[in-house]
Structure 1
């Protein structure tokens, strides 16, 4: 005998009515709690106020009982569709959606940082702050991956334990961050390649040994690439050593250093010029021409003094440089400098030979560079340096080392073997700098005469 379909349906009516009533009671209780919370001015002002973040209140059973007006940033459901429901379903968690909204029962739930933090917050009353996570939300019949930042805070209201959950959608920020990281990596890759190019044009150790003899080189770039450089070459009986400090450091300084090395090779190795003052004059002409800074001095001199100084400052691309040319056969040393000095230590006494007070580059008064002739003795120690070493901040008072102390250090180490001098100079520098950041490229060369 066939069962009457109407009777079958009617037999389920009590269960359906009971389940509906139960659900309605839960939702009504949750709504009543939300209404009670909203009636508390203190609570509203401190929690449910006008926030940029999305704010949720979750009870100890993981049910959503309240949220602020920014909930649309995370989900688009109406209030009656989320209040009283488990947090995962309310927020549109894709994992909960696939399992009929049973938040906490899916394989992914055990690894859910938000759920874990809420449970831990209830158990320990300890808060979490600014935890980044990637979470998949169910939106318009599709799974959408979002980057979120959340915090949890334990609260108690009318003797009921709850957790305040604050969520920010940082998807766009994360996208921008990844673009920045990608661009940064590309730039760093280019700079690393520039470093290899710069290292390729610096003289190799074998050449330094051949040209300079007993020597050391302390070379410590501030960044990956450097605005300081050193150069060595032999022309007949002459041995040429150069230390230079180009305008700026990092990439701008490195480009200027490559430009300068290229011109020095043409002037010295191709044209065979060895007199240091002529080298500097030719280098200045080449750099000014390359940078298109051949301004008419007469026109500039008609300007107001302050305007003139501003123009000169804006055209300050160039370098400070020391050029030392030695002839080992007659112990003759020729020196020319641009805003730099040559230091000679003989019998523990310091002798400083100052160069011209102008850079190699455009300058207000571009006189011809001059040179000095020095007769060296056996075991004299010659030093050339950029200003990066003695301009470094450090010590107990965070002040500059200064040139005076630098010269004292050179005298103190002058009796050591050249290799150990370089090591000692670096040790003193690092000790002085301590936790202070390096502020400039460092380049020091020391040569012991034969």
Structure 2
């Protein structure tokens, strides 16, 4: 093929492409085979090689059939039969034209000899009788020969037509047979599609039921209403079930524990991890020896490592969760905070009286509204290269009217906007300062609408969780 292309020899180029495609198709290289067949079809069209066009369409029909694209397979086969019938019709027309040409040629020759005979009769009237018999004999002989020739020619033509008719009949039977095969394959694919749909429905029903179970173990509206303060929870899983979870409970000593967590992954894997986290957090928070959030995170990390069999210290075992915990004394409004990667944000009207030497605040101010971000440690609940270092416990005194926000990173990591970039923590802080004066149900609605508008038609990249509490 390469040699023929180099020397410009176009003979057999189309068949060579087709043969290469047939070899690749037999070896299972469907995409490569389709490219060769398309090259064969393009070359045949360019040089008007009708037989090669017909065979190229037939090969493409087989390729599309193996790819499961039965519509394109059928269309290619229709083109194949069209060009095949066109070739047969061209052969018949050529034979008829040849017959008419030879007939006219013989008739012209007969007329010419008749004119010559008449002219000779005029010149030699004395030999009219003799010439008449001679000419008549010749005419009879020519007529007999002409009739015999036509008879043989018709026999040959009829044989050719009979063979072509038999070939057309055979091809029609093949088409009918292949049509039945295509219909059987279509029915088989339809059956498989229905089976997959049933399996997907069963899986979706199971995950939906798991979502109800997950919702049941999370603090419900009644539990949140038992808190001494107003609150809201914006909770939007990426899938039916979520890897984010939140928790609120009253400790043995009367303090209120609030927590937000983001488990490894989302969907079903994240939901399994969240169930583990809720179970362990419920167990730890129910013990009287619980004193501060840092100790809870430390104990929770030990229990997760044991539960996930991470004692071997394998670095690739990165399963776990990020979490922020705040414990508030409802009488003195003293709040203790600790975080594993996650932060907490407090917004108030007025200034914060905090010392950067005792905590790690990131303070922002807009007009008379201030925001302080309490940042957690850069290590997760689970195995980490940092080992078993303790978490840092941060303290801050809240005031009536303050808003406390706990959240996962799904909100700030959502892509969107004109430039398709993350929402970012800086914009989230500005949003919280804007909605701070509003009622909690309005805050929740604005937070939900803002991220939905920013996301637009893009997919949600992670589970989203924002918990807000108004201190009163």
Q: TM-score, normalised by structure 2?
A: 0.61
Deviates further, 240-249 or 169-178: 169-178
Which of 143, 167, 176 does residue 91 from structure 1 map onto?
176
Native 8 Å contact 2:54 2:79 kept in 1: no
Point out where structure 2 has 5 or more consecutive residues left out of the alignment.
1-47, 66-72, 88-163, 350-368
Separation in 1, partners of 2:260, 2:167: 72
Which of 340, 352, 360 does residue 373 from structure 2 map onto?
352
Which of 329, 332, 337 does residue 330 from structure 1 map onto?
332
Native 8 Å contact 2:341 2:380 kept in 1: yes
Which of 409, 415, 438 does residue 416 from structure 1 map onto?
438
Native 8 Å contact 1:57 1:65 kept in 2: no
How many angstroms does 1:58 deviate by? 9.6
Separation in 1, partners of 2:461, 2:270: 14
Native 8 Å contact 1:274 1:325 kept in 2: no
How many angstroms does 1:181 deviate by? 2.5
How many angstroms does 1:186 deviate by? 2.4
Residue number in structure 2 paired with 1:117: none
Which of 257, 261, 266 does residue 283 from structure 2 map onto?
266
Separation in 1, partners of 2:225, 2:258: 12
Alpha carbons of structure 1 residues 65 and 204: separation in structure 2 relative to 1, 3 Å: same
Separation in 1, partners of 2:452, 2:291: 36
Native 8 Å contact 1:83 1:90 kept in 2: no
Which of 377, 389, 395 does residue 411 from structure 2 map onto?
389
The total of aligned residue pairs comes to 316
Does residue 1:284 correspond to 2:369, yes or no? Answer: no
Larger Rg: 2
Residue number in structure 2 paired with 1:9: none
Which of 41, 47, 61 does residue 57 from structure 2 map onto?
47
Separation in 2, partners of 1:212, 1:434: 37
Separation in 2, partners of 1:66, 1:213: 86
Does residue 1:191 correspond to 2:207, yes or no? Answer: yes
Residue number in structure 2 paired with 1:252: 269
Separation in 2, partners of 1:200, 1:381: 27
Native 8 Å contact 1:342 1:384 kept in 2: yes
Higher helix share: 2
Alpha carbons of structure 1 residues 388 and 58: separation in structure 2 relative to 1, 3 Å: closer
Native 8 Å contact 1:222 1:438 kept in 2: yes
Separation in 2, partners of 1:51, 1:86: 15
Write out per-residue CA displacement over residues 89-144 of structure 1, whole angstroms, 9 at most, x where no aligned residue: 96269xxxxxxxxxxxxxxxxxxxxxxxxxxxxxxxxxxxxxxxxx9x5xxxxxxx
Residue number in structure 2 paired with 1:161: none
Point out where structure 1 has 5 or more consecutive residues left out of the alignment.
1-37, 68-78, 94-134, 138-145, 149-167, 297-310
Map 1:223-234 onto structure 2 (within 5 A): 223-234=239-250
Native 8 Å contact 1:242 1:324 kept in 2: yes
Write out per-residue CA displacement over residues 284-330 of structure 1, whole angstroms, 9 at most, x where no aligned residue: 1111111111126xxxxxxxxxxxxxx42x11111110101111101
How many angstroms does 1:410 deviate by? 0.6
How many angstroms does 1:430 deviate by? 0.8
Which of 233, 238, 241 does residue 258 from structure 2 map onto?
241
Separation in 1, partners of 2:455, 2:228: 29
Q: SS of the residue aligned with 2:269?
A: helix
Alpha carbons of structure 1 residues 84 and 271: separation in structure 2 relative to 1, 3 Å: farther
Native 8 Å contact 2:236 2:465 kept in 1: yes
Native 8 Å contact 1:147 1:174 kept in 2: no
Separation in 2, partners of 1:57, 1:423: 58
Which of 393, 400, 404 does residue 426 from structure 2 map onto?
404
Q: SS of the residue aligned with 1:429?
A: helix
Write out per-residue CA displacement over residues 258-284 of structure 1, whole angstroms, 9 at most, x where no aligned residue: 001001111112556252111111111
Separation in 1, partners of 2:375, 2:228: 21
Residue number in structure 2 paired with 1:31: none
Separation in 2, partners of 1:267, 1:147: 64
Separation in 2, partners of 1:39, 1:83: 20
Map 1:105-254 onto structure 2 (within 5 A): 148=183, 169-211=185-227, 213-235=229-251, 236-254=253-271
Native 8 Å contact 1:225 1:251 kept in 2: yes
Query: What do you get for the CA RMSD once the two structures are aligned?
Result: 3.2
Alpha carbons of structure 1 residues 400 and 80: separation in structure 2 relative to 1, 3 Å: same
Residue number in structure 2 paired with 1:428: 450
Write out per-residue CA displacement over residues 421-442 of structure 1, whole angstroms, 9 at most, x where no aligned residue: 1111011111111112110000
